[in-house]
Amino acid sequence: MSPSKSVYHFNSAIVREPSRSVVDGLRAEERGSPTYEAVKAEHDAYIAVLRTAGVEVTVLPALESFPDSIFVEDPALVFTEGAILLRPGAASRSGEAAELAPTLRDMFGTVLDLPVGFADGGDILPTPKGVMIGLSARTDRAGAEALIGCLDKLGHKAELVATPEGVLHFKTACSLLDDETMLSTARLARSGVFKDYKQIIIPEGEEPAANALRINDILMVPSAYPRSLEFLDKHGYKVIPVATTQIEMIDAGLSCMSLRWYRDGN
């Protein structure tokens, strides 16, 4: 990454169209069932916001054999310096990295493979001070430690942190707002993991809004959480509400649906 670029400065992204099988996506708890048409509408709106933010979006075709493949962030990591193919912790997603590999090898000069263990991109939070890797039900210690080695090869330092019990992914409960500030649920904030940052705590009862997504000068925030939208607007962020009610039924949020990086030379 260029020294002048923040970790939320992006000009490139990869997304994947939802499959019709997306309605069978994984879920830790029952929140109802999405429809393909409604997920597609949310995804289309999401792509439109990325483009509005100045990001060139590569849209990959749907994969019917992988219901969760719309969530491209889990099987890979991307940086200016290269990409890492991960090993998702859910058995039904184990083939998704191989499906992404040709695209990543075409776009990046360096593509590394996580050699052992399991790691989901939803547990991995790049920050100005390094990459946080949350241990969870989907990211085990072997995978996280192997990932530290891969990140080191790309010039990024990393640290292991704890994801609260019962929270699917680390980024389910947090997101980076700017170079100095984290958005977090109260529960995760109490753990002390963000002691080196300013913290903005999500209002009680609106915890899913913690998975916001900062892209360049805008902040994408789930639209169903009015107190969080107002709160972040008052803090001076350029908030864009984005519907996530359908993808939340299958354990997902805003960060899951794209791989984002700054491509030098764009």
* Domain of residue 37, CATH code: 3.75.10.10
* pLDDT for the residue numbered 30: 78
Q: Is residue 87 domain-resident?
A: yes
- The 10s digit of each residue's pLDDT in 226-244 is 999 999 999 999 999 999 9
98 by Cβ neighbours in 10 Å (0-12 / 13-18 / 19+) ranks as exposed
The two structure tokens encoding residue 155: 């010039």
Mean pLDDT of the region 145-164 = 96
Q: What angle do CA 115, 171, 239 make, to 5 degrees?
A: 135
Residue 265 has pLDDT above 80, yes or no: no
14-46: b (≥16 Cβ within 10 Å) or e: bbbbbbebbbebbbeeeeeebeeebbbebbeeb
157 by Cβ neighbours in 10 Å (0-12 / 13-18 / 19+) ranks as exposed
Q: Is residue 1 domain-resident?
A: no
Q: Which of 120-129, 159-168, 215-224 has the lowest mean pLDDT?
A: 159-168
Q: Please state the domain count of the chain.
A: 1
* pLDDT for the residue numbered 266: 52
In this prediction, what percent of the chain has a pLDDT beyond 90?
90
How far is the C-alpha of 249 from the C-alpha of 28, rounded, in Å? 9
Closest CA to 94 of 125, 61, 68: 68
* pLDDT for the residue numbered 123: 97
Q: Is residue 32 domain-resident?
A: yes
Mean pLDDT of the region 94-108 = 97
pTM for this predicted structure: 0.95
Set 9, 43, 156, 169: catalytic member: 169
Three-state secondary structure string covering 80-111: CCEEEECECCCHHHCCHHHHHHHHHHHHCCCE
Residue 4 has pLDDT above 70, yes or no: no
Q: Is 43 a catalytic residue?
A: no
Q: Is residue 3 domain-resident?
A: no
Q: Is residue 4 domain-resident?
A: no
Q: How far apart are the first and last CA of the chain?
A: 13
* pLDDT for the residue numbered 2: 39
What rounded mean pLDDT belongs to the chain?
95
Q: Is residue 5 domain-resident?
A: no
Residue 109 has pLDDT above 70, yes or no: yes
For residue 201, the enclosing domain spans 12-261
Q: Is 256 a catalytic residue?
A: yes
Q: Is residue 250 domain-resident?
A: yes
Set 9, 43, 174, 256: catalytic member: 256
Q: Is residue 2 domain-resident?
A: no
CA distances, 244 to each of 107, 204, 241, 247 (Å): 29, 18, 9, 5
Mean pLDDT of the region 94-111 = 97
Q: In sequence order, what are the beta bridge partners of 56?
A: 12
